Amino acid sequence: MKTEQYPTFIFDLDGVITKTEAYHFEAWKETAAFLEYEISPADNEALKGVSRVDSLKKIVKWAGKEVSPQTFDRLLEEKNERYLGLLSSLSEEDIMEGVHQFMLEAKEKNHPIALYSSSKNAKLILTKLNIIHLFDVLVDGNDVTRSKPDPEGFELAANQSKTSPKDCVVFEDSTAGIEAANAIGMTTVGIGDIESLSIASRVCKNFKEISLNDFKL
């Protein structure tokens, strides 16, 4: 049982635990090319934290195209196949600096650890990284009907960990994710660039700048 001494930590996946967003970028490039659109790094930033369906909707809109439901579904499937192919070499070496140690220390201090990722491949990725056993709660794109910046996934993670949102600390690298967590009163820690993540309660470049002692209720 959680006590008020131990806030629940909710982690995003892409860009927080591992840098799989680069794989997403590569996989989306071919989709965009089919739509006669060249996706840019700035576009990829706008897709952070966004579900696969909503990401494709954005790309279709940027391309100024219309596609049939059948073509839309095919493009989603093909993108995911390319992405899974790129993930084939993923291992523990791809965990971002400082994250694994932070999780181990949190587990020792009885902090509940949860994941909320828009990815429908989250469990596969955590398994390949060999850290899935560290999570008490897993919420991914298969569990929600509304993606970030809607707070549905964070609400699910809080409920499943039996934690009030105000007692949750969220680690996110996307504006959409931070907006979602902020909306229900969670403490937010942005991982990445301070300018783009300034709406977070705190912004750090990586977990080397974060100590477990920073989080006491």
| Its pTM surpasses 0.75 | yes
Contacts of 174 (CB under 8 A, 6+ apart): 12, 15, 48, 49, 50, 148
| Cβ proximity of 135 and 126 under 8 Å | yes
For residue 217, what pLDDT is reported? 56
The per-residue pLDDT for 147 is 86
Mean pLDDT of 142-161: 95
| pLDDT band of 1, cuts 50, 70, 90 | very low
Does 12 participate in catalysis according to the annotation? yes
Catalytically annotated residue among 14, 140, 167, 173: 14
Confidence of residue 198 (pLDDT cuts 50, 70, 90): very high
| Residue of 12, 140, 167, 173 with catalytic role | 12
Distance CA 53, CA 98 (A): 31
The pLDDT tens digits for 82-110 are 988 988 889 999 999 999 999 999 999 99
- pLDDT, residue 23, reads 87
Q: Where are the beta strands (DSSP E) in the chain?
A: 8-11, 113-116, 137-139, 168-172, 187-191, 202-204
Domains (ranges, CATH) in the chain? 8-18+91-214 (3.40.50.1000), 21-89 (1.10.150.240)
pLDDT at 132: 97
**Percent over 90 (pLDDT), the chain:** 78
Position 172, amino acid: E
Separation between Cα atoms, residue 163 and residue 112, nearest integer Å: 9
What is the spatial distance between Cα 184 and Cα 155, in angstroms, rounded to a whole number?
8
Cβ contact 192:15 at 8 Å? yes
94 among known catalytic residues? no
